[in-house]
A = this chain, B = another copy of it.
Amino acid sequence: MTITITAFERSPDGGKGLARDTRVRWALEEVGQPYEVRLVSFGAMKEPAHLALHPFGQIPTYEEGDLALFETGSIVFHIAERQAGLLPDDANARARAITWMFAALNTVEPPILELVTARLLEGDKPWREERLPLVEARVRSRLKQLSARLGDSDWLDGAFSAGDLMMVSVLLRLRSSGILDEFPNLAAYVARGEARPAYKRAFAAQWAINAGTPPTG
């Protein structure tokens, strides 16, 4: 059955791979699942046809026959549950890998999104300079805990899993801030993720669409 995902017609990051379709592409590449992509403009994302697929007017979405999903975490989990390669077979190890997916999205990503918001959406506000260090401190606090847990392991819990895919994807958003490099084991962890052939194919696929478009953020 054909799988179709949506992606930005023109990604705001100009092809850095930070748009969330890259996470879904990466998961599909890890399990060896071919897919098609439908590009959506910013205008079309807020129109009824796309809102029927994604109530918050975002990308990516996932369509497979009668099934339509939104929300990156859910899509990656759906892929991971149906095909081998992203979740361990052992029940307890599987539950822990899912835990890291949620931790990436609900514990580590929110302060990182706050930092992105502080820089972009509130970058012209008078409080920018005084407030940024507070937001960065909240990011560092989480990274310090994550770094302590990872230690010198390659991945968060045994073999590479959907939990690592999501955590690496979330941490990638920090690279331009320089904060990631303050935690060498996390920087090396992200680099290990980027070195995976499946990630490289996912990155290249979004780059082929977005290369040369000037970033807006």
Contact = CB atoms under 8 A, between A and B. Distances in A.
- Report copies per complex: 2
Determine the interface band of chain A, counting residues with CB < 8 A from chain B: 35 or more
Contacts of A107: 56, 58, 71
A99 B127 contact: no
Contacts of A95: 67, 69, 74, 78
B113 A134 contact: no
Interface in A160-201: none
Choose among A58, A72, A95, A148 the residue with the greatest number of B CB atoms under 10 Å from its CB.
A95
A39 interface: no
15 contacts: A51-B145, A55-B103, A66-B92, A67-B92, A70-B99, A71-B102, A71-B103, A72-B102, A73-B102, A114-B114, A117-B138, A121-B134, A122-B134, A125-B130, A127-B131
